[in-house]
């Protein structure tokens, strides 16, 4: 495994750990927020899901930029 593969695997593991923790905490958080406002609970859930996809989109964008510049990281 070269350095680039190791960095990618480490980044994926960290991202998945945070996402897993977020999905573990999400149901009780949603129940508490729904007591305040159901719309607030919906908004937090939507932001969380969009953030999940945004992380991978930004990571892919960074990797494409690194490949174009020739750094190979």
pLDDT of residue 25: 93
What local confidence, expressed as pLDDT, does residue 11 receive? 83
pLDDT tens for each residue of the chain, 73 residues long:
788 788 888 988 998 899 899 889 999 999 999 999 999 999 999 999 999 899 889 988 988 888 888 755 5
CA distances from 26 to 1, 63, 71 (A): 35, 30, 38
Give the pLDDT of residue 60: 86
Phi, psi of 61 (to 5 degrees): -65, -40
How far is 13 from 2, CA to CA, in rounded Å? 17
| pTM metric for this prediction | 0.69
């Amino acid at each position: 495994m070269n350095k680039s593969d190791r960095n990618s695997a480490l980044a994926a593991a960290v991202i998945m750990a945070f996402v897993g923790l977020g999905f573990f905490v999400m149901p009780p958080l949603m129940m508490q927020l729904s007591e305040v406002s159901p719309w607030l609970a919906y908004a937090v859930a939507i932001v969380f899901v969009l953030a999940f996809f945004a992380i991978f989109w930004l990571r892919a964008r960074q990797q494409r930029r690194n490949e174009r510049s020739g750094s190979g990281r």
